Structure 1
């Protein structure tokens, strides 16, 4: 036994050969609140988002101390992670992992969800298609790189988490990422057709077994710590237009 952590109020052990990943969605941003698609573009945490980051940090500081804290390289995730690291008194700085960044959604980035079907029909179709290997097209020269397919997102996201898990066997670590990444990880691992709504500031706990090379979800979309702060009820739902 290495330590004791808490999932949904129940104490449990993080055993040798198992890595515990606390996967957190970043706090609410100005674009989340306005229904604008972020993708890999930057958008700052708003007032609610900072309060959510503080509430996440307060909650996690009362649980098993993490060995390390990892984050996407986008500022909304990094700011959330830094708040957690400070409160949890983590000895090391936040470790930035670019592979944890949000999906590149091509020409959809920067648009409001309600206007994309009319203005970007091909990109809209690729995003909502059940054909998971379709890359989302990019038509603007100022957008660097092409849009990702859902399969590409799943592959890089799960690979990044497995790399983190392999370095932290017998330990708990915190990973701050994005709604699209969390959805991809959940669906890739569980093979379920949907991950449901994923709220800003949600805490999600996963175990990775080194021996079995298998992921198990211990909790999903837990927002109990946000009771006094609140969150956008629509959350992130990549299965529908109502984001």
Structure 2
């Protein structure tokens, strides 16, 4: 069943500049928390560069003051790929290369239109898997960006022997892999070449660090997958557990301080642009078992 959600007006806890406030979405978080681990990683890479703001072509919305911290922030816009037939059929995708379905393409057009009406991003990065790549290319065209930078580090978690199975059948057909997949132990790898959550986290956070280093004070878009985006949230806000789903083509925004690497979750899983297509509530992926 495709559910159309009642969307509340945008909310935010800070006096954001107009461009930043305009993107506040379905689940803006009232108490953003900095991630010490990600801040340290980002600060380590950022320090030693030119002074924040120097000759970087920043938009005025990048200069903000949050909780007494003034300075330039890189605005990272996270977009999950559009819907696939495997999402709708509740099949585990992982690294398998599944294309968008027709609804997914409509969702990609909707999110592209939404982002094209906001401040122009400096760049767009994407997982190289087809479902993310097509979503990113649709956004890039709408935003008049010349190209998409594809990075395998933004891929979904590799799910090993569970890839290609229906989630409902996974426990019976591959019990050991299923047990590893649903384990709370973050260092547990999935049989069949699957990644642990720690491995997923390491690659996607490292990718974010590199992108922020290149685009200090600018706005960038990252098109990725449910599991990857959840890990980026976890590092940006480790003290506030993430509940609910990351819906297809939902938009989330993290601000990263160019001076300190401090991260602030500005808004989360905004789907206000999906009033026409809706979201498939029982689709697989986007939750704690995202794949």
User: 1:237, CA displacement in angstroms?
Assistant: 4.6
Report the Cα distance in structure 2 between the residues aligned to 1:135 and 1:152, rounded to whole angstroms: 9
Report the Cα distance in structure 1 between the residues aligned to 2:276 and 2:207, rounded to whole angstroms: 33
Where does 1:38-187 land on structure 2 (aligned, <5 Å)?
A: 38-90=93-145, 92-138=146-192, 146-187=193-234
User: 1:63, CA displacement in angstroms?
Assistant: 0.2
Relative CO higher for 1 or 2, CA cutoff 8 Å, sep ≥ 6? 2
User: 1:187, CA displacement in angstroms?
Assistant: 1.9
8 Å CA contact 2:248, 2:286 repeated in 1: no
Say whether residues 1:8 and 2:24 are aligned partners: yes
Report the Cα distance in structure 2 between the residues aligned to 1:202 and 1:77, rounded to whole angstroms: 13
Q: Which runs of 5+ in 2 are unaligned?
A: 1-17, 26-59, 64-70
Counterpart of 2:72 in structure 1 is 17
CA deviation map 1:40-92 (0-9, x unaligned):
001110010000000000000000001111100101101000000101111x3
CA RMSD of aligned residues (A): 2.0
**Matched positions, count:** 231
8 Å CA contact 2:76, 2:221 repeated in 1: yes
Note closer, same or farther for the CA distance 1:133–1:23 as it changes in structure 2 (3 Å cut).
same
Note closer, same or farther for the CA distance 1:57–1:172 as it changes in structure 2 (3 Å cut).
same
The TM-score, its normalising length taken from structure 1, stands at 0.89
The partner residue of 1:230 within 267, 273, 278 is: 278
Q: Which runs of 5+ in 1 are unaligned?
A: 139-145
CA deviation map 1:178-207 (0-9, x unaligned):
011011111233224444311001000111
Report the Cα distance in structure 1 between the residues aligned to 2:203 and 2:213, rounded to whole angstroms: 15
User: 1:210, CA displacement in angstroms?
Assistant: 2.0
Report the Cα distance in structure 2 between the residues aligned to 1:86 and 1:240, rounded to whole angstroms: 32
Where does 1:198-237 land on structure 2 (aligned, <5 Å)?
A: 198-234=246-282, 236-237=285-286
